[in-house]
A and B are shown apart, each in its own frame.
Chain A
Amino acid sequence: GAVVSQHPSWVICKSGTSVKIECRSLDFQATTMFWYRQFPKQSLMLMATSNEGSKATYEQGVEKDKFLINHASLTLSTLTVTSAHPEDSSFYICSAPRDVGTEAFFGQGTRLTVV
């Protein structure tokens, strides 16, 4: 199956700093990448949808200036958490469908801890 590689798998940062998370599609071109956040014992919450070469679409309540998404190529999308605070600590996961209308493949997830 398709592989989506996400890095880093975990990161600890100080409050006020920025963290960049990368997702790469290894064997297919990901026109669309979805970014999710998951708090403990809760379901996945879609944060934003990124499309290669255009601006990301953010879900209601997600601050686009805080969560910067770049999808500059068909194989790479990045999420930057700017000026991170402890409440941003969460599990961030990307996913991409191989083709339109097909199932999505998930990255390994990034556990972010802001101290």
Chain B
Amino acid sequence: QKEVEQNSGPLSVPEGAIASLNCTYSDRGSQSFFWYRQYSGKSPELIMFIYSNGDKEDGRFTAQLNKASQYVSLLIRDSQPSDSATYLCAVNPVMKTSYDKVIFGPGTSLSVIP
């Protein structure tokens, strides 16, 4: 079983719609969760991080974490064509007191159609 799984997509949504990106992880002890956006040919850039169960909102982005289900998601409201990119879910399986071997999922390709 892969440690961090994502649907590779492509996920296509119309402009203005809500894009929902999902991620599951295998290590129940995981503590830190990150969402990165990566445009083609560029390095990833951090969008959000979440440590606690529940929702965390930042502008058009909402991260949702459910540790019991080992599930983290990213919602993008009012999707824009500029949101078209690959979204990487990353999980730090160890306690927050160290940063080691953050594991990246394969990424989900999102396409926002004008």
Contact = CB atoms under 8 A, between A and B. Distances in A.
Chain A interface size range: 20 to 34
Contact of A100 (B98, B102, B105): B98
B88 A101 contact: no
B32 interface: yes
- State the majority secondary structure of interface residues on B: loop
B88 A43 contact: yes
A100 B99 CA distance: 5
B49 interface: yes
Interface string A65-102: 00000000000000000000000000101000100111
Given A103-B46, A109-B43, A44 B88 contact: yes
Contact of B34 (A6, A46, A91, A103): A103
B49 A103 contact: yes
A111 B40 CA distance: 12
Contact of A106 (B43, B97, B106): B43
B98 A101 contact: yes
29 contacts: A34-B102, A42-B106, A43-B105, A43-B106, A44-B44, A44-B104, A46-B101, A49-B101, A91-B41, A93-B44, A97-B99, A100-B96, A101-B32, A101-B96, A101-B97, A101-B98, A101-B99, A102-B99, A103-B46, A104-B46, A104-B102, A105-B46, A106-B36, A106-B43, A106-B44, A106-B45, A108-B42, A108-B43, A109-B43
